[in-house]
Amino acid sequence: MTDLATRPPPTLRRAAPALLGYAAVRVLGLVVLAVWSAARDKSAYKLLTARWDSLWYTRVAELGYGYEVRLVNGDVHSNLAFFPLLPWLERLLAAVTPMSYADAGFTVSALASLAAAWGVFAVADHVYGRRAAVYAVLLWAVLPVGIVQSMAYSESLFTALAAWSLYAVLTGRWLTAGTLALLAGLTRPVGLAVVAAVWAAAIASFVRDRGAPDPRTAPVRRRALAMLIAPLGAAGYVLWVGHRTGKGPLGYLDVQAGWRNGFDGGAAFARFVADKFTSFPSALAGVALIAGVGLLIRLYVICVRQLQPLPLLVYAGAVTVLALCASSYFGSKPRLLLPAFPLLLPLALALARLRTPRSALVTGVVAVASAVYGAFWLNGSGPP
């Protein structure tokens, strides 16, 4: 990794087509959600800001940590499971504006989603050029669960921090990369994937230095300091939770266990898929799940074959493994994969090779389908 980018910097003007396209997709999704929700006598805004995880974040912003719900089966849902950066930002924005905490969460998510789109563009532009970068942003926008990018959830904020940290690594801005990795670690547990990417890139640079040192490479002390800074956010919060619960460094795992979350190597997910084959209608869903996992693996293999930079491969691989191998609520797995944007780069390259009318048609059709699915999904009974 060098200090000199091989492509022009991702200025706002350079990224404008991608950001305008992204905004158009998000507006389409919100309009369809509003119409669908109104037809079902529901509030689209409430679905985006005051249900499921968004309620837990606003409670942390308003009341701090310590709130929990005890279920009849003995499970304990504690708000300590939710990392603090999003509620901190909600509290800050609510303190300096007339906004409610829910309004602040929606605003933070909206701004963070644009920052994330810009970060995805920056990474893709650096690696594959502007045209592919535009399609990478559009593909990230039209994902079936793209509506989550507009919710008062932490996915948009996390993706923004992760994307810009990866871009900083790719362009040799090590202290920036480490600092953004620290903030990502304060946002979601999967912040460890960003830390892993920074560490992998730094270690690889040290190995290269032993062979043929590159004079443009950042000094060793900067890279070492980035490695030191990167895990402080996640480690700091996990250790604080352990201290607060009185259960030591593993206290956070106990909190997650109360939500029936954990890392089991994918055993629970495999059982969930297997159970789908007990009847014919659900077997179709089982086939779709297997096909989806197969597609993810296939995309990752293509990323490796296309020689994506090491930090992107490490990051995307870690996000994917953590999402698929966690024993969490299975309906949430698609949104847990939302930050794994490097997996979209092979598809972006394929679209970039098509003529513009054809690629625009494909993207437009998928955008409409995504908007309809997002409205259907959020108006369902379970949380995303």
pLDDT digits (tens, 9 = 90+) for 12-25: 899 999 999 999 99
For residues 217 and 128, give the distance between their C-alpha atoms in angstroms, rounded to a whole number. Answer: 21
Closest CA relative to residue 230, chosen from 253, 208, 200, 207:
200
What count of residues does the chain have?
384
* Strand 68-70, strand 76-78: pairing: antiparallel
For residues 295 and 276, give the distance between their C-alpha atoms in angstroms, rounded to a whole number. Answer: 19
The pLDDT tens digits for 214-227 are 656 778 899 999 99
Evaluate if pTM is beyond 0.85: yes
For residues 309 and 342, give the distance between their C-alpha atoms in angstroms, rounded to a whole number. Answer: 10
For residues 361 and 6, give the distance between their C-alpha atoms in angstroms, rounded to a whole number. Answer: 31
Q: Which amino acid is at 44?
A: A
Residue 11 is predicted with a pLDDT of: 85
Residue 204 is predicted with a pLDDT of: 94
For residues 211 and 189, give the distance between their C-alpha atoms in angstroms, rounded to a whole number. Answer: 35
Q: Who wins on pLDDT, 288 or 109?
A: 109
Residue 266 is predicted with a pLDDT of: 86
The region of weakest confidence among 62-66, 174-178, 247-251, 351-355 is 247-251
At how many degrees (to 10) do helices 101-128 and 85-96 cross?
A: 120
